[in-house]
């Protein structure tokens, strides 16, 4: 199954009050394995960047001034997303901005039915634990030492690793053998052809010799009230 793990950077928290998306990073996964394909773009928000937001992601007005508006990149973004499920951390936030930008440029919104929220997944697996991306990366041993500031593509890459951990771990998709191959191997095996190097020795005699019986009889008669000498007993 193809899935897209994505993250966004924005000018603030609420598109309804004029905030805009300024970056998106998308990672393609198939059967929970990263394929190496990704989509990444910066957007000119056509409004000033608040200082608080710039402090989080480092994207300044100057840096974004020559970038395309979202509408100019919308079609290539939608082509990459296709109809795959979309995985994000606190996904309602990213979906809100994505759909706001799509509607702003006359494109239909992405269905919320496609949304997979890793915060919800993490809450089920780690009740009571901190659910930030940083905290969960630490919990699952995901290296984030190169993450100085937030970045959509970098965070999507970290999230892809976290998503693997939350949905089966790093061994997902790996098996000792393909079932069909195993069946074929068993079908082709000739039990009679199995070689063995075990050496079989002749059976050892276990009955006592006449001398051993005589010595045993001499020993028994020296035992007081020996059970063997009771009526009906035999040596």
> How high is the pLDDT of residue 185?
41
User: Residue 62 pLDDT more than 50?
Assistant: yes
- Closest CA relative to residue 52, chosen from 96, 93, 94, 12: 12
Q: Give the C-alpha separation, 71 to 96, whole Å.
A: 16
Band of pLDDT at residue 179, cut at 50, 70 and 90: very low
Choice among 57, 150, 206, 216 that is catalytic: 150
**Which tens digit of pLDDT belongs to each residue from 118-127?**
999 999 999 9
- Is residue 130 packed enough to be buried (19+ CB in 10 Å), middle (13-18) or exposed (0-12)? exposed
**Which tens digit of pLDDT belongs to each residue from 185-223?**
444 444 444 444 555 566 666 667 777 777 777 776 777
Chain mean pLDDT for the chain: 85
**If you compute the radius of gyration of the chain from its CA atoms, what whole number of angstroms results?**
36
Go through the domains of the chain in sequence order and give each one's CATH number: 2-166 (3.30.420.10)
Cβ atoms of 74 and 101 within 8 Å: the answer is: yes
Cβ atoms of 19 and 11 within 8 Å: the answer is: yes
Active-site residue flag, 150: yes
């Amino acid at each position: 199954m193809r899935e897209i793990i994505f993250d966004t950077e924005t000018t603030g928290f609420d598109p309804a009050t004029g905030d805009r998306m300024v970056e998106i990073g998308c990672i393609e996964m198939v059967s929970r394995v990263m394929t190496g394909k990704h989509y990444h773009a910066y957007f000119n928000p056509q409004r000033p960047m608040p200082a608080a937001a710039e402090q989080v992601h480092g994207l300044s007005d100057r840096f974004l001034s020559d970038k395309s508006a979202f509408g100019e990149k919308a079609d290539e973004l939608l082509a990459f997303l296709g109809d795959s499920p979309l995985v994000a951390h606190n996904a309602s936030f990213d979906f809100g901005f994505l759909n706001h930008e799509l509607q702003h440029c006359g494109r239909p919104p992405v269905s919320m039915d496609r949304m997979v929220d890793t915060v919800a997944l993490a809450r089920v697996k780690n009740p009571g634990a901190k659910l930030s991306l940083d905290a969960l990366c630490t919990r699952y041993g995901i290296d984030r030492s190169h993450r100085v500031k937030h970045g959509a593509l970098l965070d999507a890459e970290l999230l892809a690793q976290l998503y693997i951990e939350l949905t089966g771990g790093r061994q997902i998709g790996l098996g000792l053998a393909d079932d069909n191959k195993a069946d074929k191997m068993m079908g082709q095996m000739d039990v009679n052809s199995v070689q063995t190097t075990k050496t079989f020795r002749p059976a050892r005699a276990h009955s006592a010799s006449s001398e051993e019986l005589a010595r045993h009889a001499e020993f028994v008669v020296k035992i007081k009230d020996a059970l063997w000498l009771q009526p009906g007993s035999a040596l």
